[in-house]
Structure 1
Amino acid sequence: MKTLPEAFRPFDARMLHVGDGHWIYVEEVGLRGGRPIAFLHGGPGSGSQHLHRTLFDPARDHIFLIDQRGAGRSHPYLSCDANTTAHLVSDLEAIREHFDIAKWLLVGGSWGSTLALAYAEKHPERVSGLVLRAIFLGTAEEVEWAFLEGPKIFRPELYADFRDWLPAAERSEPLQAYVNRLCNPDPNVHTLPALRWFAYERALSEIAAKPGKLPAEVDAASRLPPTPFVEAHYIRNNFFLEPGQLLRDARNLAGIPGHIVQGRYDLLCPPRTAHALASAWPDARLEFIETAGHAMSDPGVMDAMRRAISEIS
């Protein structure tokens, strides 16, 4: 990727011990003492990226980019021990207290929106605002849609490739079959499923994905993607949320200004979820990007997020 301007480079970075053997990587970008903002990456398990820094105004904002447990530069890498939604919410509170922040703006997309909502609903008094993209509420129905029902309708050839690699006896429950393999510690069992899962999810996230087959063998030069493993852990445990919890507790967001940026043709996190959240949260504005899917890199998405972050109080 292109080198970012000096203003977007971290002025500090540290590892914070949050207990349970976990150390959380936090980098600070922008204006020390400026408007505090926490960026929450997706996945779960993807980690913060350099590009995420460019959503913000470094002359105004004090941005904290946080790698969640098991993700990015946090340690231990890919650890799913003591790694739940409640742990991640607790980590955010520990980080806020460490930096002596009274209130902060939370920004996140996809799983990052889930975590932001879980935190804000538990600690509304600590949140000045929310800018969210591609709403995901952590329900079984959303997972079924994202990996099974949606692809069957919109990418049937891709779904067939995903399913038919499995033995015939497992094809009736392909999601469970992949999750079981991804949760197996043996690399001979989980490596190829991880590569296939990653390619499948990536193809579903792009508005103009290139046609092609999912990997059929392990390429020794391929880097093992982190997100399938952490995602499988969270899927297996229903994202450590009660059924319908985040929508039910959206009443706790009353008085918190919000802006939701939603791709109209997002196959992984469809618009109906964002609409349901906005209906339960009167202080939020819902903005559809008419030619976008799930990816933050789709045209118009990052520009809309930048505007929202700039305008929200």
Structure 2
Amino acid sequence: MAFTAPETARRDLYPEIEPFAFGWMETGDGNRIYYEECGNPQGLPVVVLHGGPGGAVNPGMRRYFDPAKYRVVLFDQRGCGQSTPNAAQTDLSDNTTWTLIEDIERLRERCGIDKWAVFGGSWGSTLSLAYAITHPERCTAPLLRGIFLLRKPELRWFYQEGASMLYPDAWERFVEPIPEAERGDLMAAYYKRLTGPDLEERRRCAVAWSSWEGETVSVEGPGARPDKFADPDFAVAFARIECWYFVNGGFFPEENWILNNIRRIRHIPGWIAQGRFDVVTPMTSAWDLHRAWPEARLDVIPDAGHASSEPGIIDSLVRATDWAASL
């Protein structure tokens, strides 16, 4: 069912909460994955998959869930956040969609969980869908926001031409580090610099790449950019991992892999929250997903962009988790 969320009586986040457990999980290939658990140890399990790829979990992500009803597991995907080694310097060859899915399964087993809901926005929606399709028997409900299917038109829209027309001021800052002769393929130009030997150029380009996303996530525009996107220590890992995934097509075996395999999860309840004015992951992907998976509930927020912190997105996601807890 597709519908538009009401603009009144919106839900807000649950109160702040601290983890009841945290630690690092060895992957067996040199990575250590930071994870934490909060809420009710006996509650409905859910795993939170952050965006990027290359982002990190933060305390606000714990607050979309009723702490009396949920056992919330959050982790920093390999290469970022408190997981080690950090992608600012390390080789990225073992960082793919499929190694992340292996990490999710390894974490599920470590936590002694049989099945769990998956909660993710932006790249987190991509990874949630890929995980659910690969392990449908382990997924009770995908709860998704800002759908990103990692297809070429989506990447071209945001990194070559499309979003540039809506944010020409931010776009000017994004392309500034790249010589005009190389601007015909900006992802390739950035990839060369983000993985190149010049560390100062790497930092400068990482901040420009990261800031472009930060300046476009909210309907409020560049002035609402979260501070972390301009922090070089965050930006280098974030930009390197994102660009690595994007130039490699998310490591999917085919362009439309998610939609081509969505039949594997059509029997599982799902929720899709999508901002009408999302510039980072435009609504066409959420609509395509809904058309392929009509059983999932599509919630279009009429006054929201991409950011999970926007009031309409918060409202939809909190209602989604309450709904999933009642299934």
Q: Same fold (TM over 0.5)?
A: yes
Q: Residue 64 in 1 paired to residue 73 in 2? A: yes
Q: Take 1:71 and 1:133, find their aligned partners in 2: how far apart are those partners? A: 21
Shifted more, 296-305 versus 180-189: the winner is: 180-189
Q: Take 1:304 and 1:278, find their aligned partners in 2: how far apart are those partners? A: 16
Q: Residue 104 in 1 paired to residue 120 in 2? A: no
Alignment of structure 1 residues 1-313 onto 2, 5 Å: 8-78=17-87, 79=90, 80-210=92-222, 223-225=233-235, 226-241=237-252, 242-312=254-324, 313=327
Deviation at 1:168, TM superposition (A): 2.5
Q: 1:148 to 1:168 in 2, by over 3 A?
A: closer
TM-score by length of 2: 0.88
Q: Take 1:19 and 1:100, find their aligned partners in 2: how far apart are those partners? A: 19
Q: Take 2:287 and 2:270, find their aligned partners in 1: how far apart are those partners? A: 13
Shifted more, 160-169 versus 33-42: the winner is: 160-169
Deviation at 1:279, TM superposition (A): 1.0
Q: Is the 8 A contact 1:40 1:106 kept in 2?
A: yes
Q: Take 1:224 and 1:9, find their aligned partners in 2: how far apart are those partners? A: 23
Deviation at 1:178, TM superposition (A): 1.4
Report how many aligned residue pairs link the two structures.
302
Structure 2 counterpart of 1:269, which letter? T
Residues 233-292 of structure 1 show CA distances to partners (whole Å, capped at 9, x for unaligned) of 111211111211011111111211000000000011011100110111122010011111
TM-score by length of 1: 0.92
Deviation at 1:189, TM superposition (A): 2.3
Structure 2 counterpart of 1:119, which letter? Y
Q: Which runs of 5+ in 2 are unaligned?
A: 1-13, 225-229
Structure 1 counterpart of 2:292, which letter? A
Q: 1:161 to 1:25 in 2, by over 3 A?
A: closer
Q: 1:210 to 1:153 in 2, by over 3 A?
A: closer
Q: Take 1:18 and 1:142, find their aligned partners in 2: how far apart are those partners? A: 31
Deviation at 1:211, TM superposition (A): 5.8
Q: Which runs of 5+ in 1 are unaligned?
A: 213-218
Between the two structures, name the one with larger relative contact order (CA 8 Å, sep ≥ 6).
2
Structure 2 counterpart of 1:240, which letter? F
| Percent sequence identity over aligned pairs | 39
Q: Take 2:233 and 2:95, find their aligned partners in 1: how far apart are those partners? A: 23
Residues 54-103 of structure 1 show CA distances to partners (whole Å, capped at 9, x for unaligned) of 11111110000011111111111114241100000111111111222111
Q: Take 2:112 and 2:174, find their aligned partners in 1: how far apart are those partners? A: 47
Residues 139-192 of structure 1 show CA distances to partners (whole Å, capped at 9, x for unaligned) of 122111122222232123332342244222212222321121112243122111
Q: Take 1:117 and 1:222, find their aligned partners in 2: how far apart are those partners? A: 30
RMSD (Å), alpha carbons: 1.8
